[in-house]
Structure 1
Amino acid sequence: MFVNRLSELDLLEKRFASGKAEFFVLYGRRRVGKTELMARFCEGKRAVFFVSDLGSEISLRTALSSSINATIYGPGQLDAVYSSWEALFQALSQAAQKERLVVVLDEFPYMVTAHPPLASILQKSWDQTLKNSQVMLILCGSYIGMMEETVLGYHAPLYGRRTAQYLLEPLQFIDARQFYPSFSKEDQVRAYAVYGGTPAYLHTIEPHKSLKENIQENILTRGSYLYDEVHFILQQELREPRNYFAILQAIAAGKTRLNEIKQATGIDGATSYLDTLQQLHLIERLVPVTETQPQKSRRGIYRLKDHYLRFWFRYVLPNRSQLERGGTNFILENQVLPEFDHFSSLAFEEICQQYFWRNGLSGKLSFLPEKISRWWSANEEIDLIVVGEKDAILVECKWSNQPVGTKILADLERKAHLVERELGDRKIQFALCSRTGFTPQLIEISTKRSDTLLLDLNQILEN
C-alpha cells in the first residue's frame, strides 16, 4: 500500500523533466518509506535502482555493475564487472548522453563505509562528466548524520553538487489513518499514538482486526515484527547502542532535561548522544514556542519523537519478563488498556497541531501561522500556541470522555495573562479541541464571542 507522498513525487517529477543533470539527495530515518518512494518514482522510467547492503567493496561494485548492465543492455545480456568506480560512473555518463537515465543509489552511506574514497570519486566523476549528461542521480540514506558528513556538509566531498535535497518525514495523521479506515475515529487517534506515521509500522496493521487485537498479536507477542524493532533499529544505526538505549529509556521515564538525563544514565557526554538521536529523528528537543533563541534556551526539554518508541518503552520493555512467558493478554488488559487514553493524549495534541498548520497554510485561519508548539513555565503550560505575525491562538487539547466546560476556557484565559508579555502586542484568541464535545453552557458562550473556537473530534479529523 503506497499512501500519499504526492508532493514528494511532484518534486521528483519536476526534477526529472528539467532537461539537465540532476543530483538529488533524499534522506530520512529508517523505515520511513524512502525505498518505496523511489520504486514508485522509477516506475516506467529508464532507471538503475540499486539498494546497497553491508557487503564488501567488490561485492557492491559487482552488484551495481549488474544493475547498470541490465538497464543499458537488457537483462542477461552482459555480465561484465566494471574494473573501478571511475569506470562505472563513466559508463553511466555515456548511457545518459542522449536520453534521461535515473540512477538511484539507496543506502549510499553503506557504500561509503565499504569504500571510503567513493564520495571523492563520485565528486570527480560528477564534475568531469556526469553534470554534462542527462543523468538524474539520486542518493538516499537513513543515517542523517552520515549523509550530512558525506554529501550535505560543508566539508563533505560532494558539498555544492546537489541540485535538490529532501528530508522524508513520517506520514501525518491525515495520511496514516488510511491504513486503518475501519477503526472508529477514537481508535484511529489511538492507533496513531501507537504506530505514528512510519509506513513500515503501519503496514503491520491488519485492518479487519480491532486495534486491541493488532497490539496484542503484532506488538506484544514475542516473535512479531515490532516486538524487537527498537533493538534492531539501534543496532543497525549506532556503534554504541547501550548508551543510546539508556538515554532513550531515561527520556521515556520522564527525565527530559539534560541534567536529569545525565544523572539517570551516568553518561557525562550525554550531549553528543542526544545530538545523534536528534539526527536520527528518534528524539526532539522542545522549547516554549515564545523563545526567540531556541538553541540557546535553558528551558529546553527532550522528548521521544517516534510514536512507536514511546509505546515500546512504556509498555513492552518494562513488561518484557511477562511477555517472554506469553503474558500478552495480561499486559494488554492490565497495563495498556487502563491508561491507553492517557497515553494517546499527546498524539491527539499533535493531531491538533497538524490541523492548525493545515488550515493556516490553506487560508482557513484568519492569519498565517509562523510557529505552532507548546508553551510552559515553571508550573504552568499551554498545549499549543499558534503564533502569527500579529495574532496568536491559545489552544487546549482535551482527550477526555467528558465534555469540555466553561472552567477549561476560564483557565485558558487565566494562562493568557501569563504569556501575554512574551506574545507582545499580538491579538489573542482561544481554541478548545475536545474528543467528546462541549457542554451546552460553553457552546452558548462561544456563540456570543468572536475570539473563541470550539473544535470537536469530527471537525478536527474530517477537515
Structure 2
Amino acid sequence: MERRAPVTQVERSRLGRYHITDPYLRFYYRFLANRQTQLALGVQEQSLAEIKRHLRDFIGANTWEEICREWLLRASANHTLPFVVDQVGSAWTRGAQVDVVGINSMEKLLVLGECKWGLEPVGRSVLTAVVDKTAEVTPSQGQWQVYYLGFARDGWTAASHAFAQEIADSPPGGKNWRALGMRLLDLSQVDQDLTAWVS
C-alpha cells in the first residue's frame, strides 16, 4: 500500500488516496478476491466473463497510466521535453482529475497529461477537457508555464492533431498560467521510447 497525494499539493494534503502498488495484488483484489468460492469449485466462466468485460478499463486506469508517468519521468531525464520535471504523479481536486502530472516547482513548470486506452483514435474533446482543467489543478502561488501530453493506445484523430497545433500557434492562458505546447503519443511511440531509454 502507498499513500499518494496530488503532485501539485503538499504531501500532507487531505486529498491523499491509498493505492495498491503491486500489479498482481491489484488484479487479484479487483477480479478474484470476491470469487474464491466459485474458483475453488471450478466454476470459472462467470469470473472469466467479469475479467473480459472490465480488463480494458482496468489496464487503462492502472497499468497504462503508470507507463505514461514513467514515460514522462524518463523523457524529462533524456531531455525530450522542453524542460525537466522534479516530480511525476497525478493530480485531483473535488472537480477535476488529471492522469499524468509532472512539476518543476523551482521553475514553475507543469506538465498535464491525459491517458486513454480505447480501441480507436481519440478525439479533440479529451484534449480540450485537460486544457479546461488547467486552472483547477495549477498551484495558486506563482505564474506557471504548462505543457500538455496526450497518451492514446491507438493514436489521435486529425482534429486532435489540429488542436495540438492550435495550442502551439496561439497558446491559451489563465490567471496564473500560460500554455507552452502539446505533444501527442500513441502506444507504439511510448513503447519505442521506453525501450530506447531503458536499454
Counterpart in the other structure of 1:338: 53
Counterpart in the other structure of 2:86: 370
1:438 to 144, 156, 167: 156
SS of 1:386 mapped into structure 2 = strand
Deviation at 1:327, TM superposition (A): 2.1
Task: Compare the two structures and name the one with the higher strand fraction.
Answer: 2
C-alpha distance after superposition, 1:209-232 (max 9, x if no partner): xxxxxxxxxxxxxxxxxxxxxxxx
Residues 290 and 422 of structure 1 are in contact (CA less than 8 Å); yes or no, is this contact kept in structure 2? no
C-alpha distance after superposition, 1:159-185 (max 9, x if no partner): xxxxxxxxxxxxxxxxxxxxxxxxxxx
Counterpart in the other structure of 2:121: 403
Deviation at 1:361, TM superposition (A): 0.8
SS of 2:114 mapped into structure 1 = strand
Amino acid at match of 2:51: V
2:96 to 371, 380, 386: 380
Deviation at 1:329, TM superposition (A): 4.1
Amino acid at match of 1:341: R
Alpha-carbon spacing, 1:298–1:365, altered in 2? closer, same or farther (3 Å): same
C-alpha distance after superposition, 1:114-170 (max 9, x if no partner): xxxxxxxxxxxxxxxxxxxxxxxxxxxxxxxxxxxxxxxxxxxxxxxxxxxxxxxxx
The structure whose Rg is larger is 1
Deviation at 1:423, TM superposition (A): 6.5
Q: How does 1:214-293 map to 2 (within 5 A)?
A: 283-292=1-10
Unaligned runs of 5+ in 2: 169-180, 194-199
Deviation at 1:448, TM superposition (A): 4.6
Identity %: 29
SS of 1:393 mapped into structure 2 = strand
TM-score of the superposed pair, with normalisation by structure 2: 0.84
Counterpart in the other structure of 1:217: none
Amino acid at match of 1:352: C
Q: How does 1:153-164 map to 2 (within 5 A)?
A: none
Distance (whole Å) between structure 1 residues aligned to residue 141 and residue 27 of structure 2? 35
Work out which structure has the larger RCO, using CA pairs closer than 8 Å and 6 or more positions apart in sequence. Answer: 2
Counterpart in the other structure of 2:143: 425
SS of 1:326 mapped into structure 2 = coil
User: What value does the CA root-mean-square deviation take over the aligned residues?
Assistant: 1.5
Alpha-carbon spacing, 1:407–1:327, altered in 2? closer, same or farther (3 Å): same
Residues 432 and 454 of structure 1 are in contact (CA less than 8 Å); yes or no, is this contact kept in structure 2? yes
Deviation at 1:406, TM superposition (A): 1.2
1:459 to 189, 192, 199: 189
Residues 151 and 185 of structure 2 are in contact (CA less than 8 Å); yes or no, is this contact kept in structure 1? yes
Q: How does 1:6-405 map to 2 (within 5 A)?
A: 283-292=1-10, 294=11, 296-332=12-48, 334-345=49-60, 346-388=62-104, 389-405=107-123
Amino acid at match of 1:455: L
Distance (whole Å) between structure 1 residues aligned to residue 166 and residue 128 of structure 2? 15
Task: Compare the two structures and name the one with the higher helix fraction.
Answer: 1
Amino acid at match of 2:64: F
Distance (whole Å) between structure 2 residues aligned to residue 417 and residue 436 of structure 1? 28
